């Protein structure tokens, strides 16, 4: 954790120091050893920032922070302060946290890559980190620390000798990414995909697209924007967009037949094109061509996940790395080494069953992509899907669940086990394509678990997919345990 003088914190936040008896010179000498917003992790000599939200107020814990060794406080409610302890008074401590993070980002002088998108941003961020980590000292967002608190804390946690920070930027409302990007000040901004996540809050896909493009507002230095060229709405919007806040554009495409038209229309400076792809039982092999005014290269790559959407994410990572002149061998090695997180396309092979665990979260686009990924992974197996609902779709929820049912049926599934408030809409979508597909409607996750344990047949390939709130992220493990238990009982009875 970096050190900051009291003077630096005052300048970064515009705050006023109170209860400090030293001189102006001492203000520029006295330092905090670390920064904390949580008394459970506070260290001696720390600056404690008392964050305040709708459901919490860190000002209530200032005395506890002092007892644990905090020596300076950043507050917006001075009455909460223990007597005689120096503090810096600001209007909003959350904004002040961002101000300090921006100050530190500038002090570091490293490269920053910002990543956003309706789907795929976490996978893309992890791929970017992996392709760079052998060539540059990198630091990246952990878990989902991608909001107005998590992003600044990520920057402030970066070591002082870091060369590249990769920051994920999430949003639920317009203006949130604008706020984050003005803290991060990225050299490269990546937009993985624009979908309908949070349409309940923003009202239209166009509004979501405009909110994602806010990431470009904070671009500095080379001002590079990297996009998914297969996203038609995004490419068409950029073609008409007059107020460009980027200087260079990189485009990743998987549709080779449309590549030249897309790149010419957008005046792309760099591109990565998918040339071939082969989906295997344990991952994906693919080749790409990279083009720029300075270099043309072909790369043969490997991923430990299956699905064209994952390949698209990899293309974005490749483009970022090639732009910053990372050797092709390091890029190939980075993608091949990347582990798969539970619930994010993890492939689980059992003696009699195969499970494609993509249950971390779900939206209409990722749901359709998962159906296709299961088909690509297990083209000759009887394919089964365990489906929960998709959230934050507002008035569009029923229509999107219907469309997902259509996509499920067209992907060639044999059995679908589904729960959630819009399960009937999903069923109707399936029936609109085929009445021969077995669909079992369930009440909740436990009902789904029991149905799967009774319905799966040897050789089946199962997809697990749902929004996070449905708790399907533990379903794969619970099902594996239940099937193993069932198999043990069967063997004992023989």
What does the pLDDT profile of the chain (494 residues) look like in tens digits? 789 999 999 999 999 999 988 887 888 889 999 999 999 999 999 999 999 988 889 999 999 999 999 999 999 998 777 778 899 999 999 999 999 999 999 999 999 999 999 999 999 999 999 999 999 999 999 988 999 999 999 999 999 999 999 999 999 999 999 999 999 999 999 999 999 888 888 999 999 999 999 999 999 998 999 999 999 889 888 887 766 889 999 999 997 666 666 776 677 889 999 999 999 989 999 999 999 988 899 999 999 999 999 999 999 999 999 999 999 999 999 999 999 988 999 999 999 999 999 999 999 999 999 999 999 999 999 999 999 999 989 999 999 999 999 999 999 999 999 999 999 999 999 999 999 999 999 999 999 999 999 999 999 999 999 999 999 999 999 999 999 888 777 777 65
Q: Say if residue 136 is in the same domain as residue 61.
A: no
pLDDT of residue 200: 86
Would you say residue 419 lies in a domain? yes
- The confidence score (pLDDT) of residue 260 equals 64
Indicate whether 82 and 121 sit together in one domain: no
The predicted structure's pLDDT at residue 493:
64
Listed residues 317, 337, 357: the one ending a domain? 337
The answer as to whether 280 is a domain residue is yes
Within a domain: residue 103? Answer: no
Q: Residue 226: give the domain boundaries.
A: 109-337
Say whether both 359 and 319 belong to one domain: no
CATH of the domain at 257: 3.40.1190.10
Q: What is the pLDDT of residue 312?
A: 95
Is 371 a domain residue?
A: yes
The reported pLDDT for the residue numbered 286 is: 97
Residue 153 shares a structural domain with residue 67: no
Burial class, 424, CB count within 10 angstroms (exposed 0-12 / middle 13-18 / buried 19+):
middle
> Do 218 and 137 fall within a single domain?
yes
CATH number, domain of 65, equals 3.40.1390.10
Question: What are the backbone dihedrals phi and psi of residue 422, each rounded to the nearest 5 degrees, phi first?
Answer: -110, 25
Residues 290 and 434 in one domain: no
CATH number at residue 387: 3.90.190.20
Residues 58, 116 within the same domain: no
Q: Which residues pair with 87 in a beta bridge?
A: 18, 73
- Assess whether 330 and 357 both reside in one domain: no
Give domain status of residue 43, yes or no. yes
Domain tally, the chain: 3
Same domain, 81 and 148: no
Which of residues 319, 337, 355 is at a domain's end?
337
Considering the domain boundaries, does residue 101 fall inside one? no
Residues 333 and 352 in one domain: no
pLDDT at residue 256, rounded to an integer: 64
What pLDDT, on a 0 to 100 scale, did the predictor assign at position 84?
A: 82
Q: 159: left (phi > 0), else alpha (psi -120 to 50), else beta?
A: beta
| Cα dist from 455 to 355, 383, 420, 460, whole Å | 14, 12, 19, 10
Of 30, 61, 93, at which residue does a domain stop? 93
Q: Is residue 102 part of a domain?
A: no
Q: Does residue 138 share a domain with residue 86?
A: no
Residue 192 lies in a domain: yes
User: What was the pLDDT predicted at 143?
Assistant: 83
Within this chain, do residues 284 and 328 fall inside the same structural domain, yes or no? yes
């Amino acid at each position: 954790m970096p050190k900051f003088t009291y003077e630096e914190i005052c300048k970064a936040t515009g705050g006023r120091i109170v209860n400090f008896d030293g001189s102006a010179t001492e203000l520029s000498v006295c330092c905090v050893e670390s920064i904390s917003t949580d008394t459970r992790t506070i260290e001696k000599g720390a600056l404690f920032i008392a964050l305040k939200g709708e459901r919490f107020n860190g000002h209530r814990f200032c005395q506890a922070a002092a007892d644990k060794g905090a020596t300076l406080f950043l507050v917006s409610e001075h009455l909460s302060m223990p007597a005689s302890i120096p503090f810096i008074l600001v209007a909003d401590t959350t904004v002040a946290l961002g101000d300090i993070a921006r100050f530190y980002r500038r002090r570091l002088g490293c490269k920053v890559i910002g990543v956003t998108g309706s789907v795929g941003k976490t996978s893309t961020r992890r791929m970017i980190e992996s392709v760079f980590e052998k060539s540059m000292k990198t630091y990246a967002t952990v878990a989902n620390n991608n909001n107005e608190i998590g992003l600044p804390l990520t920057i402030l946690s970066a070591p002082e000798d870091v060369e590249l920070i990769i920051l994920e930027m999430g949003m639920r409302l317009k203006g949130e990414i604008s706020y984050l990007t003005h803290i991060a000040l990225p050299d490269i901004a990546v937009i993985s995909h624009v979908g309908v996540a949070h349409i309940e809050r923003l009202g239209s896909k166009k509004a979501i697209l405009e909110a994602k493009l806010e990431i470009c507002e904070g671009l500095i230095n080379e001002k590079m924007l990297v996009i998914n060229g297969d996203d038609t709405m995004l490419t068409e919007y950029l073609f008409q967009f007059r107020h460009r806040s980027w200087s260079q554009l990189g485009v990743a495409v998987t549709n080779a037949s449309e590549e030249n038209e897309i790149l010419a229309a957008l005046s792309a400076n760099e591109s990565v094109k998918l040339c071939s792809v082969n989906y295997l039982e344990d991952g994906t092999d693919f080749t790409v061509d990279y083009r720029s005014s300075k270099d043309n290269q072909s790369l043969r790559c490997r991923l430990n996940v299956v699905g064209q959407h994952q390949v698209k994410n990899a293309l974005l990572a490749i483009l970022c790395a090639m732009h910053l002149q990372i050797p092709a061998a390091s890029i190939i090695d980075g993608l091949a080494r990347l582990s798969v997180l539970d619930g994010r396309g993890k492939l689980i092979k059992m003696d009699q069953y195969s499970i494609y665990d993509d249950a971390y979260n779900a939206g209409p686009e990722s749901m359709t992509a998962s159906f296709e990924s299961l088909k690509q992974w297990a083209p000759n197996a009887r394919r089964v899907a365990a489906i929960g609902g998709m959230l934050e779709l507002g008035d569009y929820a029923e229509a999107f669940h219907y469309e997902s049912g259509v996509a499920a049926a067209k992907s060639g599934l044999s059995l679908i086990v589904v729960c959630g408030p819009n399960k009937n809409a999903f069923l109707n979508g399936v029936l609109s394509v085929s009445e021969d597909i077995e669909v079992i409607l369930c009440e909740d996750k436990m009902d789904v678990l029991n149905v799967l344990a009774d319905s799966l047949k040897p050789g089946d390939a199962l997809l697990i997919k749902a929004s996070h709130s449905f708790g399907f992220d533990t379903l794969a493990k619970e099902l594996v345990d239940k099937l193993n238990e069932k198999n043990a009982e069967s063997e004992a009875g023989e």
